[in-house]
């Protein structure tokens, strides 16, 4: 044990003695380095939070895109189902010509849909509005505007 104490004493003697000024400057350097490390940690924390937000958006993004795509596909398919009736209606140039009702979003035809172009031209404001609601067409304007909007939607010539 005496040998260990002697070896420790020699090791301590080899350490150069520092002055108070040297201790103070070393302490200032250590504090400056710690502050730099803290700033770096704050910056990394902010970057990490930004990356978390981006990952979260990426997770939500594909689902929203898929929903919008599904909605667009449904709208396209519905327009395709409506096309034969609209093409038929395009040939209805006179009052007694028959017209067909395109399917609504539910796949059904509107209640009280007119059978001919003449009957369509003489519907009441309420019947135009009922048909527009069933097709999801915005209702605005007077009876002439409603008739023209619905005529255009159904493919009936003026």
Rounded Cα distance, 17 and 6, in Å: 19
**45 lies in a domain?**
yes
**8 lies in a domain?**
no
DSSP secondary structure code for residue 138 in this structure: P
Spell out the per-residue pLDDT of the chain, length 158, in tens: 667 667 666 665 665 555 556 667 777 877 877 787 788 888 888 888 888 887 777 666 677 778 888 999 999 999 999 999 999 999 998 889 999 999 999 989 998 899 999 999 999 999 999 999 999 999 989 999 999 999 999 999 98
**14 lies in a domain?**
no
- Name the 3-class secondary structure at 139: coil
Look at the chain and report how many structural domains it folds into: 1
CA distances 15 to 9, 22, 35, Å, are: 10, 14, 28
The pTM of this model reads: 0.59
Look up residue 48 and give its two tokens: 């990490």
Q: Which domain covers residue 35, as residue numbers?
A: 21-154
**29 lies in a domain?**
yes
Q: What is the DSSP string of 92-125?
A: --STTSB--PPP-TTSPPPTT--SBHHHHHT--H
Measuring CA to CA, which residue among 124, 117, 87 is closest to residue 102? Answer: 87
**89 lies in a domain?**
yes
**12 lies in a domain?**
no
Integer Rg of the chain from CA: 41
**134 lies in a domain?**
yes
With beta carbons less than 8 A apart as the criterion, state whether 153 and 136 touch. Answer: no
**28 lies in a domain?**
yes
**Residue recorded with tokens 């009280």:** 112
């Amino acid at each position: 044990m005496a040998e260990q104490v002697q070896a420790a004493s020699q090791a301590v003697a080899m350490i150069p003695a520092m002055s108070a000024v040297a201790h103070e400057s070393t302490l200032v350097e250590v504090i400056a380095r710690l502050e730099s490390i803290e700033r770096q940690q704050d910056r990394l924390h902010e970057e990490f939070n930004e990356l978390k937000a981006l990952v979260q958006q990426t997770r939500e993004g594909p689902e929203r895109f898929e929903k919008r795509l599904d909605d667009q596909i449904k709208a396209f398919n519905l327009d395709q189902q409506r096309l034969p009736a609209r093409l038929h209606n395009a040939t209805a140039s006179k009052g007694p010509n028959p017209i067909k009702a395109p399917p609504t979003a539910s796949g059904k035809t509107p209640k009280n849909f007119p059978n001919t172009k003449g009957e369509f031209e003489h519907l009441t404001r309420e019947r135009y509005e009922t048909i527009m609601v069933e097709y999801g067409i915005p209702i605005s304007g007077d009876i002439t505007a409603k008739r023209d909007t619905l005529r255009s939607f159904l493919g009936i010539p003026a």
